[in-house]
Structure 1
């Protein structure tokens, strides 16, 4: 009887060894699995400014940022001759790039059939006027600043 009590735990121990003999995935396999699970087309946090940071709702914070940026661009372009040179140009689409170091780049977007505009002149006016923006916090992906791009329609007001 004593031998069976000794033999029974010994047999259980021997059978349970197969549960310890599982292969551990390599670092490369784990990395590839994690990289596949990340959605690279979306950021965790969109670019923002300090005035919009206290807004908790992601959509409202995004709208606050876009409204601020659009108003700032309109303000800077309203003091120029862009609307006088091109009175038929009431709205311009501006491609905004926010880099990880919080710097900005603005590029006008023109319709493909627009030959009536001097694209070089409009581009130079934009680059001359769209400077000295307040600090913008870049977008974050997993806590790391990343580059983001978006297109803003900017209404040119004639004063």
Structure 2
């Protein structure tokens, strides 16, 4: 019986090598994880306080874009932009929301557009597009991230 138990002990110690599997390196694991992340989408879109009450992700996103578009249109509508450029009915605005909740607006113009004074329109927009309510930044894997998107803003509401 002694020999039998000794044989089992020796067999157990020698059999551990059969269970040894190569452990991937830290860099390999990191590369695999980075490839699995979809960098084009965020887990939670930016949001205003009024939109945080909505449960669904897509509904909250729609609320945010609608609320932001209405705020921009309201702030621009009171200016002379429509009278200076009557042919300009819609302007594309690139909105950047930084992880620290700061918002930046930049008007986008077609490349062949020479009919507009870009500097004047940009200065009008920068002067008017201030004083927005607090915005929560987008979240990716629990970390606030920078997001950018382009909003079409209608200048003439008839």
CA distance in structure 2 between the partners assigned to 1:123 and 1:134 by the alignment: 21
Say how many residue pairs are matched: 158
CA distance in structure 2 between the partners assigned to 1:34 and 1:19 by the alignment: 28
In the superposition, the TM-score normalised over structure 1's length comes to: 0.90
**1:10-21, aligned counterparts within 5 Å?**
10=9, 12-21=11-20
Q: CA deviation at 1:157?
A: 2.6
On the 8 A contact 1:83/1:158 being kept in 2, the answer is no
Considering only aligned residues, what root-mean-square deviation do their CA atoms show, in Å?
Answer: 1.8
Aligned to 1:78: 77
Q: CA deviation at 1:15?
A: 4.0
CA distance in structure 2 between the partners assigned to 1:4 and 1:158 by the alignment: 95
Q: CA deviation at 1:29?
A: 2.8
| 1:99-118: CA deviation from partner (whole Å, max 9, x where unpaired) | 11110111111112211111
Q: CA deviation at 1:75?
A: 0.5
Q: CA deviation at 1:54?
A: 1.8
SS at the partner of 1:30?
A: helix
CA distance in structure 2 between the partners assigned to 1:100 and 1:19 by the alignment: 49
On the 8 A contact 1:84/1:158 being kept in 2, the answer is no
Does 2:148 align with 1:149? yes
Segments ≥4 residues shifted beyond 4 Å: none
CA distance in structure 2 between the partners assigned to 1:50 and 1:158 by the alignment: 26
After TM superposition, the structure 1 stretch with the greater mean CA deviation from structure 2, 34-43 or 84-93, is: 34-43
After TM superposition, the structure 1 stretch with the greater mean CA deviation from structure 2, 23-32 or 121-130, is: 23-32
Specify every segment of 5 or more residues in structure 2 that has no aligned partner in the other structure, as ranges: none
Aligned to 2:31: 32
Q: CA deviation at 1:141?
A: 0.9
In the superposition, the TM-score normalised over structure 2's length comes to: 0.91
**1:57-136, aligned counterparts within 5 Å?**
57-136=56-135
Q: CA deviation at 1:55?
A: 1.4
On the 8 A contact 1:96/1:106 being kept in 2, the answer is yes
Specify every segment of 5 or more residues in structure 1 that has no aligned partner in the other structure, as ranges: none
